[in-house]
Amino acid sequence: MPLINLPAFAPDLVADLERLGTERVDTPVIQPADPFLDMAGEDLRRRIFMTESETGKSLCLRPEFTIPVCLRHIETATGTPKRYAYLGEVFRQRREGSNEFYQAGIEDLGEPDVARADARAVCDALDVLARRLPGTTLSTVLGDQAIFEAVVAACGLPAGWQKRLVHAFGNQAQLQKLMADLSDPTPSGVFGPEVDRLAILGKLDDEATLIAHIDETMEATGYSTNASRSPADIARRLREKMELANTRLDSRTLALLREFLALEVDLAEAPQALAAFAGKAGLVLGEALVRFESRVMALREAGVDPAGITYRAAFGRPLDYYTGLVFEVGPAGDALVLAGGGRFDRLLTLLGAKERIPAVGFSLWLDRIASVKGGAA
């Protein structure tokens, strides 16, 4: 028996989701924990309720629906495109409110027209909320991880730093710390005592010498490479750490990143603003900007006015599987998030799909919608 009550508007919500051309899907409350621990992001990982099976396999209470719906799609070998709708309980440790609450939403898998699918996700989320909350003015914030990745790549940083910055996107405190570390003129040591020791010995300067040293050390200590990394793998990682530690951001590049992250305009003006930023900075954003512009056009065609949406360059969501569009919707003038979602094109392949499946979706927080609905009543 559920410990919380399903909001009274839930049956009408299910009908709305079905009207949008979806198939209702359910997933078990008990889920394998590894996919969430590997892909769900640091913030969500901290709040998962863990347990284990009789055989010691790590399990968890379902903390969200995107990963379970995608796993089910892969397991049932269902073709695409496919639109799934869900409604059920999720479980997360929260500072305020119940740790058990209801979410509903749509996962749109396999639609080849990415701009159209992105626009449809935003449009459907707004439509469902408007039906639940007539008379409530809604505010939408949109970001794009792909644009941030393109900016970071165009700045010419080493791949390791690009990965760290992209991973921090959506976590402002972590992102600002990484940028501060990159701009510090004096490196604060390397990434560990072993790298420091090898650097002092001069063994990081020549890869062959480093590999030979690691091989000799492993041989002398009886360390087996059968179930772990080879000396060449270890050497490559150590050299990467040295490169990361010694990379510094020049003042111009740091200023460009900060200028980009401060960008906040109406979505209708965003393509021109991004193009102007890239032109002034001498950066090529390429396909990422083309996709961004196509999404804005698709939103107009879907009947959504881009001028009513805020594009915030620094806006991301702290889940590791997002790859492009990210958005949130809430009451105007209120930080409360009623719906949020985005694009996650890499997720299904990481979960075991044999072919790349483009995907986008959104979730609705039913307890928050009910609180706004009750306040407006």
pTM: 0.83
Q: What is the pLDDT of residue 191?
A: 44
User: 347 CB contacts (<8 Å, ≥6 apart)?
Assistant: 39, 66, 67, 70, 321, 359
Distance set, CA 156 to CA 92, 236, 241 (Å):
39, 20, 17
Residue 189: per-residue pLDDT: 45
Nearest Cα to Cα of residue 70 among 80, 61, 60, 58: 80
Whole-number Å distance between alpha carbons of 219 and 223 = 6
* Span between the terminal Cα atoms of the chain, in Å: 29
Specify the pLDDT at position 226: 47
How far from the centroid of its chain's Cα atoms is residue 269's Cα? 24
Distances (CA, A) of 141 to 117, 337, 360: 18, 10, 16
Written as six digits, the tokens of 61 are 């209470």
Q: Cβ(78)–Cβ(367) under 8 Å?
A: no
Q: Which residues of 317-352 are buried (b: 16+ CB within 10 A; e: fewer)?
A: bbbbbbbbbbbbbbbeeeeeebbbbbbbbbbbeebe
Q: What are phi and psi of 198, to 5 degrees?
A: -65, -35
Q: Where are the alpha helices (DSSP H) in the chain?
A: 10-19, 34-39, 42-46, 66-75, 114-132, 145-154, 159-168, 172-183, 193-201, 207-221, 231-246, 251-261, 270-281, 286-301, 347-350, 366-376
| CATH class belonging to 10-144+309-376 | alpha beta
Residue 175 tokens, joined: 């992102």
Place of tokens 């040293």: 213
| pLDDT by 10-residue block (mean), the chain, 377 residues | 74 94 96 90 85 93 96 93 96 84 97 97 97 96 96 86 86 87 61 54 64 73 60 68 64 90 97 97 95 98 97 88 94 96 95 95 96 72
Domain ranges, ordered by start, for the chain: 10-144+309-376, 193-246
Residue with token string 């959504």: 304
Q: Buried b / exposed e across 32-65, counting CB within 10 Å, b at 16+?
A: bbebbeebbbeebbeebeeeeeeeeeeebbbbbb
Residue-by-residue DSSP string for 126-195: HHHHHHHSTTPPEEEEEEEHHHHHHHHHHTT--HHHHHHHHHHTT-HHHHHHHHHHHH-SS----SSHHH
Joined together, the tokens standing for residue 6 give 């399903």
